[in-house]
Structure formats: structure tokens, C-alpha cells
Amino acid sequence: MSDLLDLAGALKSKSEEDLASLLTAIAGEGQALSDLFDLSRVLLTRRELERRIRELDRASLEELKAGNHTTLLQERMLAGAANTFEAATELAKTLDPVPLKANKHVQAGSPHSAYETLMAITELLFACERNWLSVIRSGLRAQDAKELAEVLKLPTSEIQLRFALAQETGLIIAFEDRFVATDLGLSWLEESNAKRWEIIAERVFDLPEIKLRDLPVLDLVSEEYPLKNPNELKFFSYGPALGLLDHGLATKALELSISNNLEAAATYLANELPTPVEKLIIQADLSITSPGPITPALHKSLDVFAQSEDLGLACRFRLSLMSITHGLETGLSIQDIESTLRNLSQHDLPQPVVYLLAEATKRFGELTVEGSLLGTIVRCSDKILLAQIQNETGLNALMLRPGADGELVSRLASALIYFNLRQAGYPAVMIDETGSIISPRLRIQTPDVPLSQLALNKAKQLLSEESKEPAQDDMLRQLQFALKNKLRVTLKLQRPEGHEVEYNIEPLGIAGGRIRGRDLDKEAELTLPLARVTSVWLS
């Protein structure tokens, strides 16, 4: 019981920010906790003690097992003001190391694997606005992962890993039953390769402090932190894909990250790649090829109006009616696209490309998808095209039916209709009730805050609990707790005259709406009415 009191006292002295950081590690951010004693009881449970014990380095762990009090153990709330907590000491003696689970992903890591990761996430961000990527628990649907794998020449499992990395870093989130790129993700596309790598690595670089030697990094972590669970470290999941681990061993990038900073590692990785090309070859078969890697800016520019077919140290894109109309939807003009292509090739455009741009100009906006309160309306001046859409077997699930004015209507969401039509090869565009084009590129903002606001609010509540007028049920619960554990309490009681009187007592019994206790100041028993008690705290 003294451990509980010591811990509650230590929590009382913490700042709101420190307490909020502690609450974020507890499921639900401790929202069900009523006071600091509730929080203390949670922190002394086996689960919470184990979590903090497994974070200890070897020296601190030995001190805890020996029952030796240290400042670090007190900071980690495994010890009170003078002694280690008995439950923590006993638990530390029984815990066993946790092995790293077998990893199905490629374990080779290099500057090239880091480049592949940046290319993959770039394509994933554009796939979010080109396709309806349904939200499922395992990540991407198998078919979506397969299509991206063919473009990036990576196994589907590696595509899923990089998709999980994009989610982990906040570049992609689930929104209204589909995966979408966040505002952070779209801003990420604007950065250089070095900066993009640094942004991602910073969010998953949770490797504890170690000194690198010619040993597997896992062995170094286990040596310095014997009980740490390596499966909880994002570093071991994503390290090879970021070029930080190579078959378990530290790479040059990891050495730089630890000895200097992530920025130094990012610069090194970017410099290790071949020099990007600025000029492309545009051919009559509507393909765009590059003889070497392309810059992030060029990749972003092409992905808006061209479909990627093969990405790596050399890249190939393809122009189509669908890709050109996608560029027009996002705000580009035909003149913008034509000017970009001319500048990249430094030659006259092949005639088929000129014809394609003319066709896109003619057909853009011909097939529209409009959302309404009653469902979705699909309109087109070409009634034969509407009939073709209605009769296409692959679109039966959209439940499109003829409307009163010859249009097609469905009760499904307009975005779902739009993406399925695009997937089937129809150059549809979304419009609002005024006829204006709606870009498929959403702007989803995910504020990056160091602490959860819920946790911070809860911390303020817990720390101010004594200054608030507590509910009668809460005060009775505290008095019963003190009675059961033979603890001393201080309470304030409102006298009939209107003023408050403070008593230091040791509760002896609670019954009939009264509390009987021994007055510690006067060394005498007294009985007080519970209805007049205004506040209670443990002495």
C-alpha cells in the first residue's frame, strides 16, 4: 500500500505535459480514471509494470532486481522516494526476453532499396486519387497490390510493407471507406528525395540508444536492453526498406543516423543514387521513357497526366485519354500538358500525341457524375455511350438505371460510381450542382501534435482534482478506500455556521451517513456527517 501512496505522490508533482505523455501510453489515454490513485493502481498492474521494465537498460535492470533505489527507476515510476516498488522488483526477476518474430519481407537494405521505397510511396499516393482503394484490415486489396507490384517490379508483400509505412507516417489514411492521400502526403511529394526520406525515417526511427559494433543490430539492442520487445520497434520492420539495415547489420546510413543525424544519412543516400535525368523520350506509341532515375519533381509532374508502367532506375510512363483527363481534372490545361511534354523532350511531339491531346480536349467533360441527395446522376450527350455503360456486365454492381431525362441514376455514392467508371475505361469526371469539375485530389489534413489533446485534458483534470469540489460518491469511495487500507485522510467539513473546518483523521467506520474516526490532532474519536464533507484527500 505504501507503493501506491508513493506513486500517487510522485504523480501529483508532475507537470501536465509529463502526465499527458504518461497517459498516452495507457489504453484509451486513461479516460476512465477518476483520480491519481486510480492512475497509480493502473501503473502498478503487471501489464504496465512489464511495459516500463522492458524499457530498462541492462544496468538499471540489475539495480531493480537487486532492489536498489536509483533516480532513473524513480523517474520510470518503478521506485518511490526511497525504495523500489516490491511488485516491480519481483516481476523483473521473472520476465524473459522476447525473440524477434520471423519477417517475411526482404531483409537486404541499401541506397537502392531506400530509392525503391520513395518511388513506391509516390505511386501509392497517386493511386489513392486515381483509384478507389477500399479499406480492409490487411492493407491494400490483393488486386491493387498486384497492379502496383507490376509497375514497381516488387513483390506484393513489399508493396504492402511500403503501404503500411505510408500509413505509419501519416501520408495515407482511411477516409470514408477508402484510402486517401493526406495533406501531409501531398506536401511530401514536393520535397527532394533526401528530405522525403528524412521525413519518413524520422517517424519510424525508434531504435534505442546503442553503440554500433560489428554485430547484428538486434544483438546490440538485446545486449543493452535485455528485456526489450524488438517486435514493438518500427525500426526492425522498416529498416531494410529505408536502407538502414542490411540482413540485420547496420548500413552506412544507420551509422550516420546514430553518429550525426537523419539529415546526414538522407544526404548520403541521395548522393549514392545515379544522377537523375531531366530529359525524356516521347515516342509515337504514346510512351514516355527515361534512361535513368528521375527527380521527385519530374515524377510528380508526370504522374498527374501519365500512367506509370515501369519504375526503377529507368522509368516508363504512358499517355492515354484517361491519364490526360485526370490531369485536366486536377486543374491543368491542355496547353500546360503540351508545354511540359515539349520542354521534356526538346523535340516536336509525335503526331499520335498531338491527336491524343486534341481528343482529350474534345471529350473532357462529356461524361459527368453528379452527386445529389437522392443518389448519383450520370449524364452524357452521347446516348449510345450511356447505353453501353448500362449494359456493361462489369458495371452491374453500380445499380445504374435509366432516369426520367435519359440519364443514368444510382443510389450509390458519386465517388464510388466515378472510380468504377474510370476503372472500366470511361473518361468520367465528377461535377457539383453548378456543373464545376470536382478534382479527385482530396486535401485531408492530419495535424501533427506532440501530445494527444485528450490526454492533456485528462492530465489537467487529474492534477486539478483536489481543487475541484468532488462528487459525494467519489468522496465516499475515497473514505472507504482509506478505511479498508487503514490510511489517514484529510477532509474538509462545512459547519452549520457556513465556514469550513479541516480534520486529519484515521477512519474507523462508515455507517448511517456518518464517518467515525480518530482525530489525529486531538487524539480523540469523533463522528462527522458525510453530507457536510466537501473534499477528501489521503494524507
Three-state secondary structure call for residue 332: coil
Residue 451 domain flag: no
> Are 250 and 157 found together in one domain?
yes
As a whole number, mean pLDDT of residues 129-136 equals: 87
10 Å CB burial of residue 333 (0-12, 13-18, 19+) is exposed
Q: What is the pLDDT of residues 13-37, one digit of tens each?
A: 777 787 777 777 775 555 667 777 7
**What confidence score (pLDDT) does residue 31 get?**
60
Q: What share of the chain in percent tops pLDDT 70?
A: 93
Query: Is 446 contained in some domain?
Result: no
Last residue of a domain, one of 94, 129, 144: 94
Range with lowest mean pLDDT among 41-45, 115-119, 328-332:
41-45
My answer on whether 156 and 213 are in the same domain is yes
Same domain, residue pair 255 and 130: yes
Give tens-digit pLDDT for 483-512. 877 778 888 888 887 788 888 888 898 888
Considering the domain architecture, whether residues 514 and 391 belong to the same structural domain is answered as: no
On the question of pLDDT at 298 being above 90, the answer is no
Do 87 and 187 reside in the same domain of the chain? Answer: no
The closest alpha carbon to 235, from 200, 286, 276, belongs to 200
User: What residues make up the domain containing 401?
Assistant: 367-426
309, 336, 363: which is the final residue of a domain? 363
Phi-psi region of 383 (alpha: psi -120 to 50; beta: other; left: phi over 0): alpha
Tens digits of residue pLDDT in 139-157? 899 999 999 999 999 999 9
Residue type, 186: L
- At 486, which CATH number? 2.30.30.100
Pairing of strands 249-250, 245-246: antiparallel
Asked whether residue 459 is domain-assigned, the answer is: no
HEC-encoded secondary structure of 375-401: EEEEEECCHHHHHHHHHCHHHHHHCCE
Is the pLDDT score of 389 beyond 70? yes
In a domain, 441, yes or no: no
Q: How far apart, in Å, are the Cα atoms of 157 and each of 148, 149, 162, 233, 281? A: 11, 9, 9, 19, 32
Distances (CA, A) of 57 to 52, 53, 76: 11, 9, 12
Helix axes 296-305, 321-329, angle to 10 degrees: 110
Same domain, 53 and 71: yes
> What pLDDT, on the 0 to 100 scale, is given for residue 292?
83
| DSSP designation for 439 | P
pLDDT confidence of residue 497: 79
Residues 253 and 294 in one domain: no
C-alpha cell at 431: 461535377
The last residue of one of the domains, among 312, 329, 363, is 363
- Using a CB cutoff of 8 Å and minimum separation of 24, what contacts does 342-347 make? 344/278, 344/279, 344/280, 344/282, 344/288, 344/298, 345/279, 345/280, 345/281, 345/282, 346/279, 347/282
- Asked if 172 and 307 sit in the same domain, the reply is no
Check pLDDT > 90 for residue 373: no
Q: Is residue 438 part of a domain?
A: no
Residue 539 has pLDDT above 70, yes or no: no
pLDDT exceeds 90 at position 176: no
Given a cut of 60, whether residue 94 has pLDDT beyond it is: yes
Asked whether 472 and 510 are in contact (CB, 8 A), the reply is: no
Check residue 443 and give its pLDDT: 62
Average pLDDT over residues 419-430: 90
Domain membership of residue 436 (yes or no) is no
Residue 268 and residue 288 in one domain: no
In this structure, the answer to whether residues 287 and 232 fall within a common structural domain is no
Residue 538, pLDDT > 70, answer: no
Question: How far apart, in whole angstroms, are the C-alpha atoms of residue 355 and residue 175?
Answer: 38
pLDDT at 465 over 90: no
Average the pLDDT over each of 39-48, 346-355, 529-538 and give the range with the smallest value: 529-538
What CA–CA distance (Å, rounded) separates 298 from 187?
Answer: 15
* Residue 462 belongs to a domain: no
Q: Domain total for the chain?
A: 5
Q: Please state whether beta strands 249-250 and 401-402 pair in parallel, antiparallel, or not at all (unpaired).
A: unpaired
Q: Write down the mean pLDDT value for the chain.
A: 86
Q: Report if residue 454 sits inside a domain.
A: no
- Answer yes or no: do 222 and 258 share one domain: yes
Check whether residue 264 and residue 337 sit in a common domain.
Answer: no
